[in-house]
Amino acid sequence: MIASQKPVIELKEVKKYYGQGDATAYALQGVDLCIQKGEFVAIMGPSGSGKSTAMNIIGCLDTPTEGEYLFEGVDVGKLSRDQRALLRRNYIGFIFQGFNLLGKTSALENVELPLLYRGIPAAQRKTMAMEALKSVGLENVAHHTPGELSGGQQQRVAIARAIVTNPLVLLADEPTGNLDTVKSIEVMELLRSFNQDKGITIIMVTHENDMAEFASRIVHFRDGRIDSSNTQGDHQ
């Protein structure tokens, strides 16, 4: 992978704290992190280490108390709430541990949702959503509801929903947390293929060392700081 001149994600001395004085609680205590376009980064660390707070800031779901967050060189801290929502909608895909699918809605309609928010016409939405389902091997269950699918299938529908907009960055929060080992490996191989074949930058929070091995770099958080950042072997 050739590093681009400008990181897609850059955190500069980012701090996040709550309360004041003696009651101040620090979630992040001066985090510096650069992620280049096309990287696959696993973020690890014990509970309370700050990794989820960092992910929320990267996903424009939260803002730093101090420091800068640059997305493609744009200072996110200077954007309005509406502008951050547009950035999230247009450039970032999300995958959650709990799938977050609408229970009474078909797989196809679940995948269409981000396109609906973008105002894309119905026929085009269906075509794009079906292509996304095909890319995760689920076109044959397009009209099934989540309750008719296995956990692994539900997570693949969630991945299709996250990539249907062709996001620049994909954020995955414990994407294999509710899956057995076989299904977890299937999901990770799928994510790695999107990273390598489509060039989607992936940032994943995980507690599982064997899942982190799929990433090209592992960043460890501890006590609100980055404890280590290690590039792994050749993942191409």
55-77 pLDDT, tens digit each: 999 999 899 999 999 999 999 99
Task: Write down the pTM of the prediction.
Answer: 0.90
What are the residue ranges spanned by the domains of the chain?
A: 9-231
Express as a percent the part of the chain with pLDDT over 90. Answer: 73
pLDDT of 51 over the 80 cut: yes
pLDDT tens digits for 127-137?
Answer: 999 999 999 99
Q: What is the CATH number of domain 9-231?
A: 3.40.50.300
pLDDT of residue 149 exceeding 80, the answer is yes
* DSSP codes joined into one string, 181-223: HHHHHHHHHHHHHHHHHH--EEEEE-S-HHHHTTSSEEEEEET
Work out the number of other CB atoms within 10 angstroms of the CB of residue 51. Answer: 25
